[in-house]
Amino acid sequence: MNLRQLKYFVGVVEAGNMTRAAEQLHVAQTALGMQIRQLEEDLGVALLVRHSRGVEPTKAGSLLHARALTLLKEVEQARKDVQACEREDSEAIRFGITPALMLVCGSEIAVTVRHQLPNVFLRIVEAMSHVLVETLARREVDFILCYDVPDLPQFSRTALLQDDLVLVTPPRGGNGMPIPFVEALEESIAMPEEGDSVRTVVVRTARDLGLELKVAYEVRSISAMKSLVMRGAASAVLPYFAALDEVRAGKLDARPIMMPAIKRTLFLASGQGGPFKNEAGLTGAVRSSLTGVLDALGPLAQPLWVRTA
């Protein structure tokens, strides 16, 4: 029996349905069911009664649910107490950020937080947007800076900016020239795995237009995608800032996608682990650090807060 199993079990009991619980916990239903079965096998008792309407706890399950709530609360409080024990005003914050954003503003965020919030110890975790959302749902990070965070009751979101994606190609002399979405799909495309925010918005737009996205290469790493493009093996749909250095060096072309433009929204989101004393300061530090990103993106990005000089 481990803490993840207890979190999953509490989620199932409170949702009353395996499918709904899997959606709320951001975990595959098969994986969730396996964890619950392992928990039952470890304890040697049935914890749930499964029926056509969903699930409900057995007598033993109800007891475990009550105890699990207490245990999880104690563990969370212990984590906070231990992190804050060095100084009364200190606060450790686990901060998730995408690899692309880490390259362009991650170090700026870290330095700004250190300068403006000296009592905050920032632990940075890098992962793709969809992975960060799952990590936040499991309370393994406290804040995430990533794209298209779902509007769920357990999340608190602040929209920071909206940016347009571009088609990144080998140099062809068309750098900066817009390309219609239909023409972009005719390229040999390199894409991240399913669930990634870029792939999700491209697939959704193609489906709305009655088109099909044909993925030639499926890779998670942005650097690997850019390498494929530079070799002439593929093109890629990316945020402009992810290819900015290579575009400036003449190694890649980046063409804004139009008819329609492909947009994503960047959020700073937190879960249920708060409240945090320095949350307002962290939000301000993140906004300040994004100024350079907005300047680099130019007309391809729109801030969703009022910028001050």
Burial of 83 (0-12, 13-18, 19+ CB in 10 A): middle
The torsion angle over the Cα atoms of residues 9, 13, 15 and 21, rounded to 10 degrees, is: 20
Same domain for 148 and 26? no
Range of the domain at 35: 3-83
- Of the candidates 34, 65, 83, which is a domain's last residue? 83
Same domain for 98 and 62? no
CA distance 251 to 245: 9
Same domain for 211 and 269? yes
Q: The domain that contains 265 carries what CATH number?
A: 3.40.190.290
CA distances from 251 to 42, 227, 238 (A): 56, 10, 15
Identify whether the C-beta of residue 182 lies closer than 8 Å to the C-beta of residue 205. Answer: no
Identify whether the C-beta of residue 168 lies closer than 8 Å to the C-beta of residue 227. Answer: no
Residue (of 127, 128, 285) closest to 200 by Cα position: 128
Same domain for 12 and 103? no
Same domain for 97 and 140? yes
Same domain for 149 and 242? yes
Same domain for 162 and 46? no
CA distance 49 to 62: 11
Containing 95, the helix (H) or strand (E) segment is strand 91-97
Same domain for 220 and 129? yes
Q: Which residues are registered as beta bridge partners of 256?
A: 166
pLDDT number for residue 88? 56
Q: The domain that contains 65 carries what CATH number?
A: 1.10.10.10
Helix axes of 18-25 and 29-43: crossing angle, nearest 10 degrees? 110
Same domain for 65 and 173? no
Structure tokens at 94: 């686990």
- Of the candidates 23, 58, 83, which is a domain's last residue? 83
CA distance 190 to 193: 10
End-to-end Cα distance, the chain? 54
Structure tokens at 72: 């999880």
CA distance 93 to 245: 30
Domain count, the chain: 2
Same domain for 243 and 119? yes
Give the distance from CA 191 to its chain's centroid: 17
Same domain for 206 and 96? yes
Buried b (16+ CB within 10 A) or exposed e, 149-184: beebeebbebebbbbbbbbbbeeeeeeeebbebeeb
Same domain for 40 and 179? no
Query: Which residues lie closer than 8 Å to 44 by C-beta, 6 or more apart?
Result: none
* Cα 189–Cα 233–Cα 190 angle in degrees, nearest 5: 25
The pTM is what?
Answer: 0.66
Identify whether the C-beta of residue 238 lies closer than 8 Å to the C-beta of residue 147. Answer: no
Q: For every one of its 309 residues, what pLDDT tens digit does the chain have, with 9 covering 90 and above?
A: 888 899 999 999 999 999 998 888 888 888 898 999 999 999 999 999 988 888 999 999 999 999 999 999 998 888 877 766 655 567 889 999 998 899 889 999 999 999 999 889 999 999 989 999 999 999 999 999 999 899 998 899 999 999 999 999 999 887 789 999 999 999 999 998 888 889 999 999 999 999 989 999 999 888 999 999 999 999 999 999 889 889 989 999 999 999 999 999 999 999 877 678 889 999 999 999 998 888 888 888 888 875 443
- Of the candidates 61, 83, 105, which is a domain's last residue? 83
Backbone angles phi, psi at 34, to 5 degrees: -65, -40
